[in-house]
Structure 1
């Protein structure tokens, strides 16, 4: 007897959330019942390296491979329609800013609370980030806190992690003011645009600063 197939859809979707999104998508060929389960998985982990690009085979910068990855992400996010809890998106080889912004906007529209983004393009924080509780940005993303004259508000954000991100101190101070619930701040190899940096937050409980091998808490 196949015990797995007897499990409720909610349990199967929970199990699939522990796989990478590409691995979860492959389960759709198992049986008719599995075809649409990916659309209800509450957590997506999408990484262009090494699952798609296979650098060991010299595919890292082949345009057709990168296009295959972007089309896959398009299909997955188009298929998805249910609420999304977490999105881990690592796409440093994708140089299409509008496309990456569209992917993030899709996740935010579905109420994502945990966003982990690694990108090689400039990403502008959206004023629609109000559902975020945890945010991690990695990969020399250029943070812009105000777009179209609309200030960003992150009222629920408790954890912010910036890793290898370029930040202007004045923008950073504005970001802190937009996060009244911030409890944990992690700064790893941040590229400050000025020497005068001020970290001030009444709600902050934990501050971690890492510069190379040195970690201060």
Structure 2
């Protein structure tokens, strides 16, 4: 029939499911289509919000938007929450995120504020600490934190979490991992500037009985390297299948129980002329001898050949 609006005839659960694939700023725009669409976006089971999209970047504007969504349907379960704070801190945002976590989301992606300039004209990191109920969520399946601090939570138990990405997020990694019994995928991007200031431990310990994929990607570019951000990486993950290491900031790497390792992607280097490190290089290379597939960069190949010549 000409001019028939077949989309509007679809049942509401299907419409809200379709809208869940759009950024919230686009789903809100559908409210002008008709009376039926006016409040439909308020029932979408996901929220993808960029605070920079608001015409007035004020705490009250952003928080009132959150409150309207949460109060319109108190029983609505937001399965996915993605929030990008932009370039300004929002006081009270943590409380709203806590409310969403109480409603049992499966996916949480929070990009906190990056920097702010204080009265002394110096630039400081702006970190929005996550609410404590995050660390006892019984529904979270995936978690991504960017520029979001993680205070020492004490108790950590996230029984359904399978994927975690921490991008320049200050955290007690070992404690977090200990409370994620089914975690299968972990990606870490360090905040090297904070490490330079002594705010990050020089030891990264990854211990997990469930982990299958672990990535430390090269973040600052191929030629970025600093003597001031070296740190030690320890990996104890007997079910690990894929390992990607792409930083030059490793002072040493210790591996243990990597019997399941299937694929390794290495873009790292050691200093083989450093006699104190030769045994550590040998132990690391010996620990990955069972791998079936290997992708290695030129600088890593040089370490292999140098190590081989030193061993003979």
Alpha-carbon RMSD across the aligned residues, in angstroms, is 2.1
1:91 aligns with 2:85: yes
Q: CA deviation at 1:80?
A: 4.0
Tell me the equivalent position of 1:159: 163
1:196 and 2:203 correspond:
yes
Mapping for residues 1-217 of structure 1, pairs under 5 Å = 1-49=4-52, 51-52=53-54, 64-67=56-59, 68-81=61-74, 82-97=76-91, 99-120=92-113, 121-126=128-133, 127-139=135-147, 141-146=148-153, 151-167=155-171, 171-190=172-191, 193-211=200-218, 212-213=220-221, 216=245
Question: In the superposition, relative to structure 1, how do residues 80 and 38 fare at CA in structure 2: closer, same or farther (>3 Å)?
Answer: farther
User: Following the alignment from structure 1 to structure 2, what is the Cα–Cα distance between the partners of residues 123 and 138?
Assistant: 11
Once residues 131 and 16 of structure 2 are traced to their aligned partners in structure 1, the CA distance between those partners, rounded to angstroms, is 31
The 1:132/1:138 distance shift into structure 2, 3 A limit, reads same
Q: Choose 80-89 or 121-130, whichever is displaced more.
A: 121-130
Query: Gaps (5+ residues) in structure 2?
Result: 114-127, 223-243, 246-264, 266-312
Counterpart for residue 292 of structure 2: none
Residue range with higher mean Cα deviation, 120-129 or 6-15: 120-129
Residues 124 and 145 in structure 1, CA contact (< 8 A), matched pair in contact too = no
TM-score (norm 2): 0.58
Distance 1:136 1:9 in 2: 30
Tell me, what secondary structure is at the counterpart of 2:57? helix
Contact 1:38-1:80 within 8 A present in 2 as well: no
Farther-moved stretch of structure 1 (21-30 vs 108-117): 21-30
Structure 1 or 2, whichever has the larger Rg, is 2
Q: Distance in 2 between matches of 1:152 and 1:100?
A: 22
Residue 162 of structure 1: how far off its partner (Å):
0.3
Specify whether residues 29 and 203 from structure 1 end up closer, same or farther in structure 2 by C-alpha distance, changes over 3 A only.
same
TM-score (norm 1): 0.82
Runs of 4 or more consecutive aligned structure 1 residues displaced over 6 Å after TM superposition: none
Superposed displacement of residue 104, structure 1: 1.1
Give, in angstroms, the shift of residue 177 of structure 1: 0.5
Matches of 2:64 and 2:33, distance apart in 1:
22
Q: CA deviation at 1:71?
A: 2.6
